[in-house]
Structure 1
Amino acid sequence: MCRVLGVSRAHYYRYKAHKPSKRSLEDKDLKQRIFRIFVEFKQRYGVMKIHYELSKELQPLQRRCSPRRVSRLMKEMDIHSIAIKKWKATSSSKQAIQQRPNLLKQDFSTTRLNQKWTTDITYIQTKRDGWCYLSTIMDLHSRRIIGYSFSKKMATKLIIKTLESAVQNRTITEDLIIHSDLGTQYTSDEYNKRLNELHIRHSYSRKGCPYDNAPMESFHASLKKECVYPIPVFENYEAAASVLFEYVHSFYNRKRIHSSLGYQTPLQVEITTIANQMAA
């Protein structure tokens, strides 16, 4: 056989007797763990989040793995987090926009729950029902989505429904602020009347300044990248509603870790915060 293959017998026996190195065996085990985490989180996690989850697994085994090694192994397996840029729908309104009070002024820091909320609407495309609209409210302390509504129409009724869903599950404090952009739904008399009834102060982004509502912009970017864009286009409103509900309530709030929260989930932050308040 060696003669047919054109190799020496010594080379053949060295190859046959070769044993994988400790490093290569470790890499093989790590690749299996990394791939399982990658699949478990539906290809939504990149190097740093996978490294965090992997470290939790390795800690009881008194093992370590650096982010650089995770990155190398992911490249060898040719896996990476979902990252697709698509066209962003924008309002075509040419109506003059009146500036309104910006109470937050890009200060997203908080000391407790129900101190600062932020809200916005994003566009979701479907085949049969055209553009549909997702309205959400986030608590800036935990980054949890506490208000949620999905509709075929972008009307004031949509954001009021979102507000009511948030109010049902939260305690309204005297100094609560909700921040939004200057969209016509948010500047409507109907919406602001309801905020006044709830004693919630309304803060607005400056015209053309998405950084004033950066946490919500970040949430929408994650939702589009991890949930919407991997699907070429939703068949209809019902299909989109089902996938969005699962992403927000089952994944984002409960499973998705956030670097800004010390690699905790929004739900973990809320549980810890409430426990600390009860113990105080």
Structure 2
Amino acid sequence: MGKPNFSDEFKRDAVAQITERGYPVAEVSVRLGVSQHSLYAWKRQLAKVVSGDASKDAEIRQLKRELARVLIHSDQGSQFTSMDWAAFIRAHNLEHSMSRRGNCHDNAVAESFFSSLKRERIRRRTYKTREQARQDVFDYIEMFYNPVRKLVRNGMLSPAQFERRQILKAESV
């Protein structure tokens, strides 16, 4: 069985579902029966063909959609599986990220942060009071992690620098 041959129109429509309509690549892949790899390749290929302004406009629309979505990472603790929590999430137009038990991939960002917090700060200290621990964690987050600590996934920018860059990109539209 040979490699499927998709028309240019099909490829353009598939890419438009991602770049213009905001559907996730994984969803478009399943719906159209096309590999995610192919969709990314078509997206790159079409970006070269599309005029600079149209391509830039599509990227800006995608960035705005991504910035507008707030994702709440949590585990499956009872406080995060309650009906009250679900109502709160819906009322505030948030997206909840929680995978099945034993699968941490949806929660990887939170898990990574807590791993860094424990490794870089908590394991090195002994706290006499809960308030002392709370203040130290607050200082780690607000005085080091967010403004200073550079992250590979942010292009070697701190979270605060990365956020400022994203806001500036969105405002320059």
- What is the TM-score with the length of structure 1 in the denominator? 0.37
Deviation at 1:114, TM superposition (A): 8.2
Task: Note the alpha carbon deviations across 1:128-167, whole angstroms, 9 max, x for none.
Answer: xxxxxxxxxxxxx7xxxxxxxxxxxxxxxxxxxxxxxxxx
Deviation at 1:208, TM superposition (A): 0.8
Which residue type is aligned with residue 269 of structure 1? F
Structure 1: gaps of 5 or more residues: 1-102, 106-110, 116-140, 142-172
Pairwise CA RMSD: 2.4
- Larger relative helix fraction: 2
Tell me the secondary structure at the aligned position of residue 121 of structure 2. Answer: helix
- Larger relative strand fraction: 1
1:266 maps to 159
1:190 maps to 84
Tell me the secondary structure at the aligned position of residue 84 of structure 2. Answer: helix
The 5 Å alignment of 1:1-280 reads 112=63, 115=66, 173=68, 175-231=69-125, 233-280=126-173
Structure 2: gaps of 5 or more residues: 1-23, 27-61
- What is the TM-score with the length of structure 2 in the denominator? 0.58
Instruction: Assess if the C-alpha contact under 8 Å between 2:70 and 2:94 holds in 1.
Output: yes
Q: Tell me the distance in 2 between the aligned counterparts of 1:266 and 1:256.
A: 8
The higher-RCO structure (CA 8 Å, 6+ apart) is 1
Which residue type is aligned with residue 93 of structure 2? H
Task: Note the alpha carbon deviations across 1:215-234, whole angstroms, 9 max, x for none.
Answer: 11111110001110011x31
Number of residue pairs matched by the alignment: 114
The verdict on how the C-alpha distance between 1:241 and 1:179 changes in structure 2, with shifts beyond 3 A counting, is closer
Which residue type is aligned with residue 236 of structure 1? T
Deviation at 1:113, TM superposition (A): 7.5
Which residue type is aligned with residue 184 of structure 1? S
The verdict on how the C-alpha distance between 1:212 and 1:196 changes in structure 2, with shifts beyond 3 A counting, is closer
Q: Tell me the distance in 2 between the aligned counterparts of 1:181 and 1:247.
A: 22
The verdict on how the C-alpha distance between 1:224 and 1:114 changes in structure 2, with shifts beyond 3 A counting, is farther
